[in-house]
Amino acid sequence: MFCYQCQETAGCTGCTNVGVCGKSPELAKTQDLLIYVTKGLSVVTTALRNQGESVSPEVNHHITLNLFTTITNANFDNDVIYQRVLDTLKIKETLLNKVTNKESLHLAALWNGTTKEELDAKAETVGVLATGNEDVRSLRELIIYGNKGLAAYMKHANELGYDDDAINAFMQKALAATLDDSLSADDLVALTLETGKTGVDGMALLDTANTSTYGNPEITKVNIGVGKNPGILISGHDLKDLEQLLEQTQGTGVDVYTHSEMLPAHYYPKFKKYSNFVGNYGNAWWKQKEEFESFNGPILMTTNCIVPPKESYKARLFTTGSAGFTGCTHIGKDESGHKDFSALIEMAKNCPTPTQIEEGEIIGGFAHNQVLALADKVVDAVKSGAIKKFFVMAGCDGRQKARNYYTDFAKALPKDTVIMTAGCAKYKYNKLELGDINGIPRVLDAGQCNDSYSLAVIALKLKEVFGLDDINKLPIAFNIAWYEQKAVIVLLSLLYLGVKNIHLGPTLPAFLSPNVAKVLVDNFGIGGITNVEDDIKMFLGGE
């Protein structure tokens, strides 16, 4: 196996024996094959579009889910991945018949296999290292990882009935292009930026889907203690799953708690009507082994960020959507999109109530609509000098000790600065007592990692209010933490919006070759992190 798609990759170079995430070599290879056949299908759908034919939403969504399923910590069930490979080949074969000029297609579009032996043999030859040139490999993987992140956001939008064929067409064109040996490094750099542009479109679509369905996030205090009833813990990012779970738990005596990236659900008006929606339990994804243990009740993983479970609570761990783990019950949906969560509800009734691990409240809900409603206050605070600088510290949290940098950084920031956050990175500082500036909290949580879009909308609005011609003239610094592929699409989107001098940590991606990293440094001023003291000086000095 060879995988270097996430920040925790072994030795900051690549996982080769077994994934740091727990991915086995067998699973890694099946995932490589799934990406390969998805590229093959994308070659076919792109050819069909070029012939003037349309591609069905079912096929688009199949491709989206394939990409999402291979995101770090999403699906550890090898049988599921095999089945998706077979299903993808079947769809591809049917569509291939409609292509008029098959001779020009890449081999990936023509290859087929049915037996496990055939699939395994192919899988050995189509991994990341199949691209020999390290710069071409780096750009291809950057494009693929960006599109994996985008696929996750599209899947959430799709679940709420929102879709955009231009985005689907681009994702498939980009996947197909990663097989094309005739493309130069410059072509691939251009495609990387186009991925960023489409990332903005995808996040805007998801923002519309979420806010149209559930209302605009508003300032909310979220309880982090526990109640007296048994509970179900819901993790991941899928709001539609949460909605169905809340509906089905009404009147059952079972409470619902959010975990990790599901916390921002509390900020949406539509979810506030459920009296059994009690609060948030625990922290970022990587602490789940202890926190799922002490939660005592069933846990529903709606998307990625599964840590291979301990036997002690494995029977209480359920998956749905893109998530999967061998031996854990997976809840599918019927043709109308309904999911039956009664197995979790019945289990919860026989479980002890959650053990309290924290108490009190945290505050959030500062997505674009809410912040813009406070725009006058914010602008006054900047003009009066009460707020000197904003720090966008969005992204992910993770296991590595080096990430304590972000807690220390937040603590060490001068009192006239405000942190704008999104994603699970927030857990490094959202429980610190950092106070407020004229009533504006010093940590403004916009929501999930996809709500980084909100932070960009806020920045663009402030640029307009201050009459600036360049987003980089705002008093905003970007110190972003990354872990998996959704952070890659967020980064590419920010680059497309013209944001310069983004600092990325705790380490730069292993998949950036020295030459590709240099392109990002030279053109966008991308940098890493050093230590808290020097970095704060650097950011405040405006370098």
Question: Which residues bind to ligand SF4, rule: CB under 6 A?
Answer: 3-6, 8-9, 15, 19-21, 23, 72
Sheet holding 329-331, edge to edge: 277-280, 255-258, 231-235, 299-301, 317-320, 329-331
Q: Which is nearer to ligand SF4, 4 or 36 (CB)?
A: 4
Nearest residue to ligand SF4 by CB is: 19
Find which of ligand FSO, ligand SF4, none residue 260 binds, CB within 5 to 8 Å per kind. Answer: ligand FSO
Which residues in the 409-438 window bind ligand FSO by CB under 6 A? 423-424
CB 443 within 8 A of CB 483: no
Q: How far is the CB of 302 from ligand SF4 (least distance, A)?
A: 19
Number of residues that bind ligand FSO (CB under 6 A): 14
Residue type, 466: F
Separation between Cα atoms, residue 298 and residue 283, nearest integer Å: 17
Q: How far is CA 163 from the centre of its chain?
A: 18
Q: How far is the CB of 250 from ligand SF4 (least distance, A)?
A: 38
Q: Phi first, then psi: what are they for 149, rounded to 5°?
A: -60, -45
Q: Which is nearer to ligand SF4, 25 or 475 (CB)?
A: 25
Find which of ligand FSO, ligand SF4, none residue 285 binds, CB within 5 to 8 Å per kind. Answer: ligand FSO
Please give the sequence-ordered ranges of beta strands (E in DSSP) within 422-475, or none if there are none. 436-437, 440-441, 443-445
Q: Which is nearer to ligand SF4, 48 or 512 (CB)?
A: 512
Using the rule CB under 6 A, is 305 a contact of ligand FSO? yes
Applying CB under 6 A, among 240, 266, 486, 503 the residue interacting with ligand FSO is: 486
Q: Helices marked H in 374-496 — which ranges?
A: 375-384, 404-412, 452-465, 485-496
Which of the stretches 42-50, 179-187, 405-413, 484-492 binds ligand FSO when contact is defined by CB under 6 A?
484-492
Find which of ligand SF4, ligand FSO, none residue 487 binds, CB within 5 to 8 Å per kind. Answer: ligand FSO
Dihedral sign of CA atoms 108, 324, 65, 488 in order: negative
Using the rule CB under 6 A, is 321 a contact of ligand FSO? no
Non-local (6+) Cβ contacts of 440 within 8 A are: 374, 377, 378, 381, 387, 418
Q: How far is the CB of 450 from ligand FSO (least distance, A)?
A: 7
Q: Which is nearer to ligand SF4, 6 or 410 (CB)?
A: 6
Helix (H) or strand (E) holding 389: strand 389-392
Tokens read off for 498: 């013209």
Using the rule CB under 6 A, is 301 a contact of ligand FSO? no
Tokens read off for 217: 């996030």
Burial class (CB in 10 A: 0-12, 13-18, 19+), 203: buried
Q: How far is the CB of 492 from ligand SF4 (least distance, A)?
A: 19
What are the distances in angstroms from CA 182 to CA 45, 99, 178? 20, 21, 10
Which of the stretches 14-22, 46-54, 275-283, 479-487 binds ligand FSO when contact is defined by CB under 6 A?
479-487
Rg of the chain (C-alpha set): 23
Q: How far is the CB of 11 from ligand SF4 (least distance, A)?
A: 10
Separation between Cα atoms, residue 379 and residue 452, nearest integer Å: 20
Q: Which is nearer to ligand FSO, 46 or 479 (CB)?
A: 479
Applying CB under 6 A, among 261, 291, 445, 451 the residue interacting with ligand FSO is: 261
Neighbour tally for 257: CB within 10 Å: 26
Q: How far is the CB of 72 from ligand SF4 (least distance, A)?
A: 4
Using the rule CB under 6 A, is 345 a contact of ligand FSO? no
The CA-based dihedral angle spanning residues 27, 88, 161, 367, taken in that order and rounded to the nearest 10 degrees: 40
Using the rule CB under 6 A, is 292 a contact of ligand FSO? no
Q: How far is the CB of 135 from ligand SF4 (least distance, A)?
A: 20
Binding stretches for ligand FSO (CB under 6 A):
260-261, 285, 304-305, 396, 423-424, 448-449, 483-484, 486-487
